[in-house]
Amino acid sequence: MGVLDACVARPTSAEQVRTVVAAAGSLMVVTDRHSWEPAGLHTFDDRGRLLLRVPDDCALAAEVTLAPRGIVAAVLKFTDVAPTAVRDRVRARVTLTGWFVPVGGTSQDAGLDLRLDFAHAELETTAGTVTVGLDELTLARPDPLAPYEADMLTHLVDDHSDVVALLTRLVDPRLMQGVLRVTPVSMDRYGITLRLEHAGAQHDVRLPFPAPLRDAAEAGGQVQALLAAARACRRRYGAPSRP
């Protein structure tokens, strides 16, 4: 798959990692003894550290309890999947390696709280695989649209195919030759990405917002600005509609 408009503003690798991890509903945890796929149990604290709540009766809790000083080496794997039905739905993979350390204190809920002390962070996308610096990761913040992206994109696809068709006016007409389907595949504070599907290939084209969003409340205005630019565009050609 080709990714076009490489010079267009986009999230940094550190921001992508933070966004994927924050938005993921589940992950895979791999230690020397076990592998486990918890769902809805990880969060970030206000210092950017990953926390994992594990049930008292799970294998990971027992492994931590029996480990010297309660420290267990672990690999955490996250997969970012496009919420819309497109080819190659995996948008990114994130791998974090480090050590789980029990967090002091008690909670009213049963369970063991663990903190991951990072050693290595890796981001894999269609553009390749990069290592993300731990200082960058700590300072980065997840994209403000991450909690809402899936609903926004599926709403566009299901209820506003005319809007998607209008946005294609902002795409270089040469790229639209032979396109069978256009689907929004991602949205972040920098813009919307459309996937152009051909018979045997696909390309992603980013449509940048006039300015990066500071919070999710600005999304509507920025999308309207893109639509206004599309309406003013003189290119008029039949964009493929969603089947």
pLDDT tens digits along 37-77: 988 889 887 777 899 999 888 889 999 989 988 899 999 99
For residue 204, give the CATH number of its domain: 3.20.180.10
Q: What is the pLDDT of residue 155?
A: 94
Q: What is the pLDDT of residue 6?
A: 47
Q: Across residues 189-216, what is the average pLDDT?
A: 94
The top-scoring range by mean pLDDT among 106-120, 208-222, 227-241 is: 208-222
The reply to whether 93 and 122 lie within a common domain is yes
Higher pLDDT, 47 or 214: 214
Query: 139, 170, 201: which is the final residue of a domain?
Result: 139
pLDDT tens digits along 91-131: 999 999 999 999 875 455 678 899 999 889 999 998 899 99
Q: Is 48 left (phi over 0), alpha (psi -120 to 50) or beta?
A: left
Q: What is the pLDDT of residue 9?
A: 80
The reply to whether 9 and 120 lie within a common domain is yes
pTM for the model stands at: 0.86
The reply to whether 108 and 37 lie within a common domain is yes
Q: Is 88 left (phi over 0), alpha (psi -120 to 50) or beta?
A: left
The reply to whether 112 and 195 lie within a common domain is no
205: CB partners within 8 A, 6+ apart:
4, 5, 171, 172, 175, 193, 194, 196
Q: What is the pLDDT of residue 123?
A: 97
Query: 139, 163, 191: which is the final residue of a domain?
Result: 139
What is the domain range of residue 27? 2-139
With respect to residue 239, please indicate whether it lies within any of the assigned structural domains: no
The reply to whether 44 and 79 lie within a common domain is yes
Sign of the dihedral through C-alpha 67, 73, 57, 44: positive
- Residue 38: both structure tokens together: 């918890």
Reported as type and span, the H/E element at residue 18 is: helix 13-23
In 9-134, the DSSP E strands lie at 28-30, 35-36, 42-44, 50-54, 72-81, 90-102, 112-125, 128-131
Domain count, the chain: 2
Share of the chain above pLDDT 70, in %: 90
